[in-house]
Chains A and B, each alone.
Chain A
């Protein structure tokens, strides 16, 4: 009587097929969850504190006479000035009424920063009809140094090395929140 062939010989040509259906179910569920919960809108923010002043601060300012760089955005032009006249006032006409010349303002502010590299504050005084779009673009142009701008170096007190600045005037304050201008 012949021996029965071993089962190993039979399995030699059989292909094992992996059951991918549960993995597929998981993938589809995961994609659905990610699509449902993810935000396609990338939001960024610009922070600004409410201006606060008391008599002691005012007295200190009158004594020290800081730069207090101010950018007054008006309907027809934009003025860059200092209340204590530490810089000559510069008026930049708006190419379109209500739309300031962002490029020219930025270049003027880079010049101010080169003279006052340690100054970080800027006061923005927009006219009441300025749109939110104008506010955001003005805040951007006064805050951010662009790669094409000339490098401005400041000595790091800790390391003693000169380091390039990344921001222009990052601390933005609105100057006419209480006024009627």
Chain B
């Protein structure tokens, strides 16, 4: 049986407007709230320190926000200086799924009776020389008209499983390369 529409139903058919207007006001409200939230969160995330995947940082209650500086990142797998991998550790035992890290340096990477890390020393020296050249060309001068001295600050970002023996070697190596102040980085513990 064929379907016939009555005349009255044809007349009552809705007429679609020529221009269809989407109501964007509620969407705008949501976006404004998101922008305000992001801008507020943005203010506390001003540092430019990068990190590496898989690193487990310890928590700290220190209130100090680190200013930008050169940084070395240490994980149980290796060491990264300014986003460049400078050495890999030797894995001495399987530590999968545990909180321990069993690693050691390659003998060729160590000098001065095991105190100095050679690839790190080379990278730090190169970075210091580069910084000193930039400072000598800069217009900023001290009271005597000399270029500003090299600050020698190194930020150390280590996995929480890395041991003090490694940190100690890094500090010794950095000190011999002219870096005298260390900033130990950690994640902020919310109190």
Taking Cβ atoms with an 8 Å cutoff, the residues of A that contact B are 17, 20-21, 23-24, 27-28, 30-31, 34-35, 37-50, 52, 126-137, 139-140, 143-144, 174, 176-178
Contact = CB atoms under 8 A, between A and B. Distances in A.
Contacts of B185: 43-45
A130 B164 CA distance: 5
Contacts of B160: 131-133, 136
B64 A131 contact: no
8 contacts: A24-B31, A27-B32, A39-B49, A50-B174, A129-B163, A135-B167, A139-B62, A140-B60
Main SS class of interface, B = mixed
Of A41, A44, A49, A177, most B-chain CB atoms within 10 Å: A44
B168 to A, nearest CB: 5
A97 to B, nearest CB: 12
Interface residues of B, number: 55
Interface stretch (B5-13, B22-30, B125-133): B22-30
Interface string B32-70: 101100110110110101010000011111111110000
B155 interface: yes
Q: Which of A41, A48, A143 has the most CB of B within 10 A?
A: A41
Contact of B159 (A27, A38, A126, A132): A132
Contact of B184 (A31, A40, A48, A129): A48
Contacts of A131: 160-164
Interface string B73-108: 000000000000000000000000000000000000
A18 to B, nearest CB: 9
